[in-house]
Chain A
Amino acid sequence: MISHLEDVIVQTVGRILIPFIQVYGLYVITHGHHSPGGGFQGGVILGASFILLCVAYDINEAKRRMTEKVDTVFCSLGLIIYSGIGVICLVLGGSYLNYSKLYRILPVNPIDARSMGILGIEIGVGITVMAVMISIFLDLASRGEHEEGLE
């Protein structure tokens, strides 16, 4: 398959940019309460940082950072966080996804408990979206043959 191009500039810029992109992604996720943004947007940005990694270096480099197994686990993890919060609400005697019941385990009043719950699920969504974006990108970009790198 095509050998990844050893371009110093791209790699350096990538190496510098990726941390900022990821921090920004985290910011977008957590700051979804006060500004446009939230789990999806932030998750996509995080995913994009990995995709930049794949483009600048090559796919194996990216998979050294996050293997398929970890990636798949992250896919599920985010959703398990999300639906888990719902189940916790269920256990705490509310209806499903009724975050205000979380005040029983969090040191806040029911109103802020909702805000907390929202933050929790935004994080879950963020994780899943990031992992899914990476996974889909890898599969599509490498036609599923990961070993042979990008095209």
Chain B
Amino acid sequence: MEFILTKYHYWIYIVLMMIGFYAMIGKRNLVKKIVGMNIFQTAIILYFISTGAKRGATIPIVEHGQGGAMHAIHAVHYVNPLPHVLMLTAIVVMVSTFGVALALIIMLYRRYKTLEEDEILELRK
């Protein structure tokens, strides 16, 4: 019980990832594939952010700005900033991939007038 309560969040992310993963390799519609891609990446981002969490800690910004240096700062009071940083990067990467994917889809639509993988394969023959 204790085990489940402390680990279940990981499983939620993994289930999300798998939904996305299935959409990427299972669905035949290109847009659905891309949506799956986003779900996958978002789940990974959730996972990373969760690794930075600490009970009873606040956002990683020193209170009352410049004065913050005056009194000591303890690591336990602030959540781990590193995952946030990494995920900012990952989000940008995700957005960029998404943009390129949409561009490709527009190209494909221009050429084949459809976005169903099967129909495209038909037309390619």
Contact = CB atoms under 8 A, between A and B. Distances in A.
Interface of A: 34-36, 40, 136, 139-140, 143-144
A35 B102 CA distance: 33
A34 B65 contact: yes
A143 B106 contact: yes
Chain B interface helix/strand/loop/mixed = helix
A144 B106 contact: yes
Given A34-B65, A35-B61, A40-B88, A143 B110 contact: yes
B61 A140 contact: no
Q: How large is the interface on B (under 10, 10 to 19, 20 to 34, 35 or more residues)?
A: 10 to 19
Interface of B: 59, 61, 65, 88, 92, 99, 102-103, 106, 110
Given A140-B102, A140-B106, 12 more contacts: A34-B61, A34-B65, A35-B61, A36-B59, A40-B88, A40-B92, A136-B99, A139-B103, A140-B99, A143-B106, A143-B110, A144-B106
B50 to A, nearest CB: 18
Contacts of B61: 34-36
16 contacts: A34-B61, A34-B65, A35-B61, A36-B59, A36-B61, A40-B88, A40-B92, A136-B99, A139-B103, A140-B99, A140-B102, A140-B103, A140-B106, A143-B106, A143-B110, A144-B106
Contacts of B92: 40
Contacts of B106: 140, 143-144
Nearest to A33: B65
A141 B36 CA distance: 22
Contacts of B59: 36
A12 B88 CA distance: 34
Nearest to A39: B88
Nearest to A41: B88
B104 to A, nearest CB: 11
